[in-house]
Amino acid sequence: MRTIILLLTAALLGMQFSGCTAIGIGVGAAVDHHNAKPQYATWETAHTIPCGRAVQVTLTSGDTLYGRFTGLRTLPPDSYRCAYVSARKLLASDSVLPQPGDTVMVVHESGWRHRSLFHGLGPMALDMRLLCDTSACFVPLRAVARLQDIQGTPYDLTRLSALMSARLLPTEQQFVVQSHVQTTGIPLEHIREIYAPPHRTSYWILGGVIGLAVDAAVVAAAAHAWNNHGMNIGPLF
């Protein structure tokens, strides 16, 4: 009877011992497979590029920058406000548009409305802070039915959307690229295309090692529990 119990225990431990290792290897292999593919992005999808990835950024001016993507950087409020005001002055338009720092009323297509601070623009989105919260809230323009100031004067959403599509108003965030020479923050509206070449990695090894460690811990815990219940199975090897 003791032999049968030991055999069943060994079989169960063997299944557990290989389970986490196999899962770790599988997850790591999936990441490696994803990284082995080239990746493309526009100014609207720049956030999908993983940090640390080598990139080739083509600008709307036709210039190309090469380096490693280190993340998205948000401009300080004063710097962004100056860039926004300067861009507005270049526009021959009398349309009523929000200014960074304005308190606005946002009416969503769903009917929900709230008062917020307008901080700036993202790719085809409004960067809002609720008056009762300091966290950012990017609201897609397509989800906004009406935008007005606290006196009830509506902003020209059609004109705002057209200016953003034409990249004539600055966005708050920059795509930061580090090369051997310097680190460059590229305004998102200046990006035509981002190309990340295939990046070969070996995360399957890391996943396997982590899974093996988990399996080993499970086996050790099972053996310890078995011995504590008065059934010393002796050395496993």
Rounded-to-integer distance, Cα 65 and Cα 177, Å: 8
Instruction: Examine residue 30 and state whether it is found in any structural domain, yes or no.
Output: no
Domain count of the chain?
1
pLDDT per position as a tens digit, 194-234: 999 987 655 546 544 675 665 555 555 555 555 665 545 44
Instruction: Examine residue 16 and state whether it is found in any structural domain, yes or no.
Output: no
Taking the CB of residue 74, how many other CB atoms lie within 10 A of it? 16
Instruction: Examine residue 17 and state whether it is found in any structural domain, yes or no.
Output: no
Parent domain of 120: 39-196
In degrees, rounded to 5, the angle at the alpha carbon of residue 66 between the alpha carbons of residues 63 and 71 is 110
Residue 55 backbone phi and psi in degrees, to 5: -140, 155
Q: Give the mean pLDDT per block of 10 residues along the chain (237 residues).
A: 50 54 58 70 94 96 96 93 91 82 92 90 82 75 92 92 92 95 95 90 57 58 57 48
Instruction: Examine residue 208 and state whether it is found in any structural domain, yes or no.
Output: no
Instruction: Examine residue 62 and state whether it is found in any structural domain, yes or no.
Output: yes
| Whole-model pTM over 0.85 | no
Reported for 72-80, long-range contacts at CB under 8 A and 24+ positions apart, including other chains, are 72/46, 72/47, 72/173, 72/174, 72/175, 72/176, 73/173, 73/174, 73/176, 73/185, 74/172, 74/173, 74/174, 75/172, 75/173, 75/174, 77/101, 77/119, 80/119, 80/120, 80/170, 80/172
List of E strands, 131-222: 136-140, 144-149, 173-178, 183-187, 191-196
Instruction: Examine residue 6 and state whether it is found in any structural domain, yes or no.
Output: no
Instruction: Examine residue 116 and state whether it is found in any structural domain, yes or no.
Output: yes
pLDDT per position as a tens digit, 32-50: 555 568 999 999 999 999 9
pLDDT at 123: 86
Instruction: Examine residue 231 and state whether it is found in any structural domain, yes or no.
Output: no
Give me 201's structure tokens.
Answer: 């990695």
pLDDT at 91: 83
